[in-house]
Chains A and B, each alone.
Chain A
Amino acid sequence: MSFTSLQYFLFLALTAILCYRLTPRRRNPLLLVLSLGFYAAFGPQHLPFLIASVGLSYAAGRLIETAPDKNRRIRLAAALVLNLGLLFFFKYFNFFAELVMSMFAPQRVSAGDRVLNLILPVGISFFVFQTTGYLMDVYRGKIKAERNFIDYALFACYFPGIVSGPIQRAGTMLPQYKKPSVWDFEHIKAGFLQFLWGAFKKLVIADRIAVLVNTAYAAPAEHAGLPLLFAAVCYSVQIYCDFSAYSDMAIGSSRMLGIELMRNFDRPYAAVSMQDFWRRWHISLSTWFRDYLYFPLGGSRCTKARNYLNIIIVFLVSGLWHGAALTFIVWGLLHGVFQVIGKLTQPYRDGLRRSLHIAEAGRLSLLIKRSCTFALVTLAWVFFRADSLSAAIGILSGIFAAPWTLGSLTALGLSVPALFVLLLSVLTLFTADWANDRYKLSDKLCAAVTPRFVVYLVLFAAILLFGNYGAGFDPMDFVYFKF
């Protein structure tokens, strides 16, 4: 059930009506059943894996909490092995098995063959990380193990975030499930606005830009030079719009139900460094890695060399988390390497800036930093988007090797008016992001009836007219669904 389908609107409306009428004791079982139903709509065969992860982490949380001190670590380790083992087995077993086979018995590996015919449960990376975070928090004593199974299961299965996050923390979610849903029209207004904004980003920008990106990536040789560079930049916009759209719709849906989810994006392309980028991109994942991997590895409270190694390890794992493919590993590695290089070159860059009399927080400095960060992020996205390492290298060499003539951008599958609308939509997006950050635009809109309804009208009209839906369109899933 896609967030952009009519079924989902009806499902959400019905859920909201029911939620506000019930006490938590009755509401939570109902929300759980509806969440499981929502998840089962992606294929009932995925349900047992979700239930296994939920059951396992619930029991493990209780066992860790009640264990004597000397046994807590062992119980946590066992729980993590089992929980993360589920993720590893279904998501990575074939990848590593094929990698090993290609090294030791390449003649036995043929393209497209899988070692084991495994299904990949939808959202497994998200719910396993969420439950793993819970176990770590219980082990660290940050939260108490949840006794109410329904509430815990709801934390793990809550439908807005089950498929693609944001990855929630038990410490912020479980207390919300204990409170009754108090009808507050402010929640509905704010949630609906965020949901609609997400739908605009997905249907008007991400899916339209996807046409262009898919065309270029399918035949890079035909679009070499500037069109390929344009497509690479477009992919940076596409993935931001696609993923942040999902997050907006998830957060907006949940807000309408009176439950706040974690913010997942904060103008990532306004980042002034790679480190800053990761404070703004997929915040729920980057903070998860920070709290549950980077800090346990020693974080920055160690030698510089060890710190750099920690960064590389975290981003390698982050790359692997996104997908079982070498392209994702290289993407993660690139982000790690960029951060390390950034740290290594920081004194020299500062020195150069001072010698050129460029103010640190001045506009020029910000422009240069933002442009460089965006360029590096875009370079890494090429690996993220490409089907294979060789394809990614082909795209990069296509960008740099060919004569840099613009050629015809319309050869990328969009007409001139469509490109114009796309440009206008992207400008609207970045302006709105900036205005929201600077002037708290969404809060102001929620407080004023007329401007908010004008925004509703414009967004609805844009979606109806320019949205990627209906006959003749490929109903593309959200990019992050496959992770």
Chain B
Amino acid sequence: MKREARKELCAIVLLAALLLGFAAFGSALLIPKRQNYGSTWGRYLKEPENSVDVLFFGSSISYCDVVPPVIWEEAGITSYVMAGPEQTLPITYYYLRETLKTQSPKVIFVEVTGAFFKQYQDFTKVNIGYMPWGRNRLEATFTAAEKQERTGLLFPLYNYHSRWDALTREDFSVTLKGYTADPLAGYTFLNTATEMTGLSPRNEVFDAENYEKNIANLGKIAALCQEEGIQPVFYIAPTYWRLSDEHLAMLESDIKGMTNVRFIDFNADDGLSDYDPAQDFFDLLHFNCYGAEKFSSRLAQLLTTQLGLSRTENANRAGWDARAEDFHALCTGQPGAD
């Protein structure tokens, strides 16, 4: 009898282990492979440890506007974009914590129009679902995700099992061999140009309670940076889609109240004058590669002149030079028009 019970128990344990393995491998295989458009954790983790001096966070405005290879080319400083689509600031906080496990940046940039995002935007599943497993992911799941998203975030097969009939060679290859490093270091290449005809109000719906929470998260980011000896820069990217003056002033004032934080509004002082409205924009919010290149040059200048950064010493120069070449190769064609 005892022998029978022991046999059953062993079988239960073995079954649980096999199912866990099946679920883990199935999740890794079935989750769509993410190579760009933010939340590219698989590729980020291919960067050599402690090799990046500047990290960029935020929403699509960050991964479409900042080209780390250009910053390297202009200033010899290594950087990486770890933003996510419509990323809310509570998730950005966990992104920062997670990135600091492998990198020790000197400066981080956070694009802060997310302060006026809703509590939950449309891409929680992507923003958290690609984070490496660990405390940060779990905390993000339980504090920054919609309740109905939690099952899928904890058990990715729940979200992606139906992809079994759409699996590609890439799915198998990435699952078995892992991601490769991103030649554009987190930047998402866009080359379509849309002519900008004038500024457009963002007409953001203001939710005071949620705004307070977002500011609190910016505060947490600032505090973490202070702990880690990082210079945080909270910025507003140059866009034709504008926050209201009232909200912008409120945000500026709240951020300036934080210690150790620099606030930069790249729209201020006719910030758009450096860009060609006919050629440099993908849409009201994002640059195409031409605009992104100009903006990244400006960031490189800022890093060296105002933030006091010098060339990264231990950088893989050949690798970064190749990244810059890759970017220029992509950009060689004329921008199309919508």
Contacts and interface: CB of A to CB of B under 8 A. Distances in A.
Given A450-B11, A453-B15, A469 B164 contact: no
Interface string B10-34: 0100110011001100100000000
A415 B165 contact: yes
A472 interface: yes
Contacts of A467: 161
Contacts, number: 55
Interface range, B side: 20 to 34
Interface stretch (B78-86, B152-160, B185-193, B256-264): B152-160
Contact of A464 (B15, B23, B165): B23
Contact of B22 (A417, A450, A456, A464): A464
Contacts of B8: 185, 449
Contacts of B125: 471
B165 A470 contact: no
Interface residues of A, number: 23
Contact of A471 (B11, B15, B152): B152
Contact of A457 (B19, B152, B159, B161): B19
A450 B15 CA distance: 10
Contact of B161 (A185, A452, A453, A470): A470
A460 interface: yes
Contacts of A470: 151-152, 157-159, 161-162
B13 to A, nearest CB: 11
A460 B14 CA distance: 13
- Give the secondary structure class of A's interface: helix
A417 B165 contact: yes
Contacts of B5: 185
B157 A471 contact: no
A104 interface: no
Interface string A420-460: 01000000000000000000000000000110110011001
Contacts of B157: 464-465, 470
B248 to A, nearest CB: 37
B7 interface: yes
A453 B157 CA distance: 22
A417 B8 CA distance: 36
A117 B165 CA distance: 45
B125 to A, nearest CB: 8
Interface string B135-171: 0000000000000000110000111111011000000
Given A461-B22, A464-B22, A464-B23, A453 B165 contact: no
A250 to B, nearest CB: 24
Contacts of A464: 19, 22-23, 26, 157, 161
A418 interface: yes
A473 B8 CA distance: 35
Contact of B162 (A6, A450, A473): A473
A299 to B, nearest CB: 48
B134 to A, nearest CB: 23
Given A464-B26, A470-B159, A457 B15 contact: yes
A216 B60 CA distance: 41
Contacts of A449: 7-8, 11
Contacts of A460: 15, 19, 22
A20 interface: no
B14 A453 contact: yes
A457 B18 contact: yes
Contacts of A417: 164-165
Interface of B: 5, 7-8, 11, 14-15, 18-19, 22-23, 26, 125, 151-152, 157-162, 164-165
Interface of A: 6, 185, 415, 417-418, 421, 449-450, 452-453, 456-457, 460-461, 464-467, 469-473
Given A457-B15, A457-B19, A471-B125, 6 more contacts: A418-B165, A464-B22, A464-B23, A465-B26, A465-B161, A466-B164
The 3 nearest A-B residue pairs measured at CB? A470-B158, A417-B165, A471-B159
27 contacts: A6-B151, A185-B5, A185-B8, A417-B165, A421-B165, A449-B8, A453-B15, A456-B15, A457-B15, A461-B19, A461-B22, A464-B19, A464-B157, A465-B161, A466-B161, A469-B161, A470-B151, A470-B152, A470-B157, A470-B158, A470-B159, A470-B162, A471-B125, A471-B158, A471-B160, A472-B159, A472-B162
